Structure 1
Amino acid sequence: MKKVGILCGMMLVVLQLQAQDINALLQKAKAKIETVNDYVATGKMKTNVAFLKVPIANVSVYFKKPNKLKVKSEKGISFIPKGAVSINLNNLTGTNQFIVIDAGTDKINGTVVRVAKLLPQDDNSDVVLSTVYIDEVNNLIKKAKTTTKDNGTYELEMTYGAYAAYGLPDKIIFSFNAKDYKLPKGITFDFDDGTAPAPKTAEEKMKGKKGRAEITFKNYIINKGVDDANFK
């Protein structure tokens, strides 16, 4: 019995050390992101939503601490799905009001990443669970998946390059529930079977479908100030 008690104690110590380690790793990734107070970025956005023809668009992305985020096309239309504004890395890492659980390791495009599950301590939080995948060599969040109470599940996947020191990606892939996608003007339905379908609303057509948006950034202007008018 004494040996069993010692073994259990050692296992508990190991688990505690793992938890401390994943917390430390998350804080290192967070430290990079927190160096950015604001930015304006430009790039190209490719959107893939079921049944829709969405052209590749030039976009501008505006961010300002703590949680202001806006994506605008060249025509000034926002492409952010409903409820997704609050699902960004700054919000996921910008608070300590969550419990961090070490979920082991995984691989993303051949890179071994550490997996952390974040459980909000606030029962009123819209976020139910966030899972982040961290490149522990470079202290970068490669992927984040967030499940919310009211707005479904969102997933971000990042590729880094010139702006990695700020924790800002060169490319981001954003997956979301298609029914939460806000239809911009000029977007048309695309039916591939050549038949005239029965009339359906956009919400009915996209129910159960997934949407995907890719933004490839050309450049960032970081910490130079961003006018609040850009977020209206």
Structure 2
Amino acid sequence: MIRLKKIATLVVLILISFACVQAQDVNALIAKVKFNIDKVNDYEATARMITNVSFLKVPDADVKVYFKKPNQLKIKNEKGISFVPKGAVSINLNNILSGGKYTAIDAGTDKIGNTTVRIVKLLPEDDNADVVLSTVYIDEAALVIRRAKTTTRTNGSYQLEMNYGKYSAFGLPDKIVFTFDTKDYKLPKGVTFDFDDGTQNNRSAADKAKSKNGKAEITFSSYVVNKGVAEDVFK
């Protein structure tokens, strides 16, 4: 009986040690990914933005994307207004990982296309933080985030899909697909768009938005990294 208790105790200790090693491994992986992202102090990027929202007619647009640490992000359309949800700051991966004030949980592996990714759930330590949960899918070979899902208290849920190319060493994607729930989006004050009236009785935008997903695709053609971005850009 005593021997069985010793064996059971040993098994528990092994399991606890294994869990600790996993946690350390996940935190080390995130630190490596963040190291690449932290190389970028600011950037100005040229991109093409395609927006797909069922109840709005939003033209494709050539845009400039500006970023400056720690979390300033601006998307400018020279010929009009780009439709970007309030939570679009989430497309800044630095914002998801900034501060390290979260508990990282290893959630196993998955595949995105032909790439095996490590799934890590990030739980904020601050109970009052707007972000409730972030789940990141990390390409361990390239040390980049291929997908990120974020749930917030005030801005709904968002998902990012990233494709990488020549700027992957900085953790900067060639393309971002940003998916969001349109029922959580409110048009900025004074902004109007053409509404699609192809449904019976021309239902309101609010009705059409229910349980619908919106999508914004941003394809980057070039980045200018760490050359400085003026504060006036973000006003």
- Whether TM-score is above 0.5 comes out as yes
Q: How large is the RMSD of aligned CA atoms in angstroms?
A: 1.7
Output aligned runs, 1:1-232, within 5 Å.
Answer: 1-75=5-79, 77-85=81-89, 88-179=92-183, 180=185, 182=187, 187-193=193-199, 195-198=200-203, 200=204, 202-232=205-235
Cα distance in 2 for residues equivalent to 1:158 and 1:175: 12
TM-score by length of 2: 0.91
2:100 partner SS: coil
C-alpha distance in 1, partners of 2:91/2:155? Answer: 10
Larger mean CA deviation between 179-188 and 90-99 belongs to 179-188
Aligned-pair distance for 1:88? 2.5
Q: Equivalents in 1 of 2:24, 2:82: separation in Å?
A: 40
Q: Which runs of 5+ in 1 are unaligned?
A: none
| Aligned residues with identical type, % of pairs | 56
State the alpha-carbon separation in 1 of the partners of residues 115 and 134 from structure 2.
20
Residue aligned with 1:169, SS? coil
| Equivalent pair of 1:46/1:214 in contact (CA under 8 Å) | yes
User: Is the 8 Å Cα contact of residues 91 and 178 (structure 2) preserved in structure 1?
Assistant: no
8 Å CA contact 1:177–1:209 kept in 2: the answer is: yes
TM-score, normalising length: structure 1: 0.93
Tell whether the 8 Å contact from 1:62 to 1:226 is kept in structure 2 after alignment. Answer: yes
Shift of the 181–210 alpha-carbon distance from structure 1 to 2, 3 Å rule, reads farther
Say whether the 8 Å CA contact 2:163–2:174 is kept in structure 1: yes
1:124–1:83 CA distance, 2 compared to 1 (3 A): same
More helix, by proportion? 2
Displacement of 1:186 in angstroms is: 6.6
2:37 and 2:84 mapped to 1: Cα distance? 21
Looking at structure 2, the residues matched to 83 and 114 of structure 1 have their Cα atoms a distance apart, in angstroms, of 25
Aligned residue for 2:83, secondary structure, equals coil
Contact in 2 for aligned 1:37/1:64 (Cα 8 Å): yes
Residues 177 and 210 in structure 1, CA contact (< 8 A), matched pair in contact too: yes
Task: Tell me which amino acid in the other structure corresponds to 2:229.
Answer: V
Letter in 1 for 2:145: I
Q: Residue type matched to 1:16 in 2? A: C
Aligned residue pair count: 229
